[in-house]
Amino acid sequence: MSRTFVDIAGKRLSLSNLEKDLYPSHGFTKAHVLEYYTRIGECILPHLKDRALTLKRYPEGVEKDFFFEKRCPSHRPAWVKTAEVPLDDGEPMTVCLVDDLETLMWVENLASLELHVPLARAGSPDTPDSMVFDLDPGDGADILDCARVALILRDLFSPLRLASYVKTSGRKGLHVYVPLNRRETTFEETKTFSRAVALILQKNYPDLVTAKMAKGERKGKVFINWSQNDASKTMICVYSLRAREKPIVSFPLEWKELERLAERGDPEKFHITHAEAVSRTEKTGDLFREVLTKKQKLPHL
Amino acid sequence: MQGIWSGTISFSLVAIPVELVKAVEPGRISFRMLHSEDFSPLARRMFCPKDDVMVPPEEIIRGYEIAPERYIPITDEELESVSPERSRTIEIVDFIDMKEVDPIYFDHPYYLVPLKGGEKSYRLLAEVMGRTNMAGLAKFVLAEREYLVAVKSTEGALAVTTLHYSEEILSADDIAPKAGTIEAEAKSRMKKSIKTMMADFNPGKYADERREKLLELLKRKAQEKAPVEAPVIEGEEEEGPIDLVAALEDIMRKVKKSR
């Protein structure tokens, strides 16, 4: 196994198998993955900070087996920050916190192409920072249908004085975030609210939307997965790569752009590649930064 | 690793601050019980067969069965009144030779981790006990039960093993066959065949085969087929808080009109 040593912020890191082709049909190697995350670091790190990372590792690349790793691997360097979080059975588990570039490089060296994080920070696991609507198209529906639903959500929230933000999932769906950033918020509230919203949309757009988890109910419709608003669930982090054929990322879009994309009607145009992600953030900065800071209160609860 | 207990381990003039952590993690694979119709995870409920009803937690009490159908009810407070005080120390009262302890007494193993300031005395105690194969006996309260424990040295660390009380050990008297004469030749034959099979104890050699096969099976099934999904429990009639639903309905009407 080939090894390369790098020093980041005074910390020594041993990188292995940099030439490993992780996206074989695109010749995108582990070195490319590390380069992407270095260049997007400034944008992604605030969104990973203090959150219990779930690693989704693809040691043999995207075409081979993957595995989820919630526990922070015990062979971690001493400088990797960790937190103890309770499991369902009450037993604590040590998780990684990716708070700096060196830790991000270390998890990417483990081929953790996808970075999944909870909606709450590790220090306050019962306080969601935002409410999320995970729009997942069933068979026969596509991202254009998701865009229609996302725009309805935006128009529903705006009279409630709730700003919302949208990103691509990097797969087939869209994620709409409503930042909250208040210590008083609970998952019970975000779940109650998001479920009520999902049921209203299902009632008013029965051919477009379903709020039901059952696969059979989703055919030709967009499933609004409101149940993601839970302390035990994780979302793909904004700017994370996805493990599909092409190195595509979960990327934030302005509402205007989503409107344009919805009008153009080409699902492919929603795919933001790693290169596009880097060049776009260089121009616009992090379109999702307000998700971390904007304080909003859910009304009528 | 999360500590189960912290305090000091002491004898005569020595007191070492320590934390108790678990020493084994059983590799048992457990399953959830599901409803085969819709894959909902099942819940356990207490059922009263006489009244033919489910019994809520506030109506459940404990009773000690003294004869069939005859019980002495006992409250949580009464149970608590006989629970021993939580230990602050593991006070070693005797040192014994480990060879004298029949392994049948060993119940559950833990490790002791030295806390700040205790490292040096910890190392000293572990080293001396390890070299002499001695163990310290102590009484110790953990999770409301008083245990007899043996503190011994394992590869430079201190380990605590809870011991069964002698009254818990079932006698082997009825199990051992009655004494009788055994021919010297048979004895030596037995000794010889045991000797040919002598090996060093190498626990890594004996894997839990069922566990490995089961993991293999689960992995294969996970690859072959997507997992079944439990339905989300949703009360169709209840859409959410009335105010919220009314506000959303109102906005929805306007949104639909403008589209």
Structural domains in chain B, CATH included, are: 5-27+83-166 (2.40.290.10), 204-228+240-258 (no CATH)
Residues of chain B neighbouring A91 (CB-CB closer than 8 A): 2
Q: What is the pLDDT of residues A98-110, one digit of tens each?
A: 999 999 999 999 9
Interchain contact, B248 vs A299, CB within 8 Å: no
Q: Which of B231, B239, B255 sits opposite A196 (nearest CB)?
A: B239
**Quick one: closest CA in A to B249, which residue?**
A200
Check residue A140 and report its DSSP letter. T
Which residues share a beta bridge with A134? A175, A225
- Which range scores top for mean pLDDT: A13-22, A278-287, B80-89, B197-206? A278-287
- A79 Cβ contact list (under 8 Å, min separation 6): A11, A102, A103
| Choice among A136-140, A190-194, B65-69, B106-110 with the minimum mean pLDDT | B65-69
Contact (CB, 8 A) for A270 and A168: yes
Model pLDDT, residue A243? 95
Interchain contact, A156 vs B248, CB within 8 Å: yes
Give the separation between CA B163 and CA B154, rounded to whole angstroms.
Answer: 17
What's the whole-number mean pLDDT along residues B242-256? 90
What's the whole-number mean pLDDT along residues B177-190? 86
- Count of A–B CB contacts within 8 Å? 59
What's the whole-number mean pLDDT along residues B137-164? 90
Closest-CA distance of chain B to residue A43, Å? 33
Under DSSP, is residue A262 helix (H, G, I), strand (E, B) or coil? Answer: helix
Per-residue pLDDT band at A142 (split at 50, 70, 90): very high
Model pLDDT, residue B3? 76
ipTM score of complex: 0.86
The number of C-alpha atoms within 13 Å of B64 and in the hemisphere containing its C-beta is 7
Indicate whether B233 pLDDT > 70: no
Q: Which of B244, B249, B255 sits opposite A155 (nearest CB)?
A: B255
Per-residue pLDDT band at A216 (split at 50, 70, 90): confident
Indicate whether B237 pLDDT > 60: no
**Quick one: closest CA in A to B240, which residue?**
A196
More confident residue, A92 or A249: A249
What's the whole-number mean pLDDT along residues B148-171? 91
Closest-CA distance of chain B to residue A252, Å? 24
How deeply is A62 buried, as exposed, middle or buried, from its count of CB atoms within 10 A (0-12, 13-18, 19+)? buried
Which residues share a beta bridge with A236? A116
Structural domains in chain A, CATH included, are: 3-117 (3.90.920.10), 130-232+247-292 (3.30.70.3300)
Indicate whether B73 pLDDT > 70: yes
Model pLDDT, residue A296? 95
Q: What is the percent of chain A where pLDDT is above 90? A: 84
Interchain contact, A212 vs B232, CB within 8 Å: yes
Per-residue pLDDT band at B234 (split at 50, 70, 90): low
Residues of chain B neighbouring A299 (CB-CB closer than 8 A): 244, 247
pTM: 0.61
What's the whole-number mean pLDDT along residues A51-72? 92
**Quick one: closest CA in A to B241, which residue?**
A301
Indicate whether A284 pLDDT > 90: yes
Q: Scanning the structure block, which residue is given the tokens 């260089």?
A: A282
| Choice among A1-10, A53-62, A143-152, A204-213 with the minimum mean pLDDT | A1-10
More confident residue, B178 or B235: B178
Contact (CB, 8 A) for A116 and A56: yes
Indicate whether A112 pLDDT > 80: yes
Under DSSP, is residue A231 helix (H, G, I), strand (E, B) or coil? Answer: coil
Q: Which among B124, B128, B117, B146 has a CA at the least distance from the CA of B18?
A: B117
Is the four-CA dihedral A187, A188, A190, A191 of positive or negative sign? Answer: positive
Interchain contact, B244 vs A212, CB within 8 Å: no
Q: Is B241 on the interface with A (CB under 8 A)?
A: yes
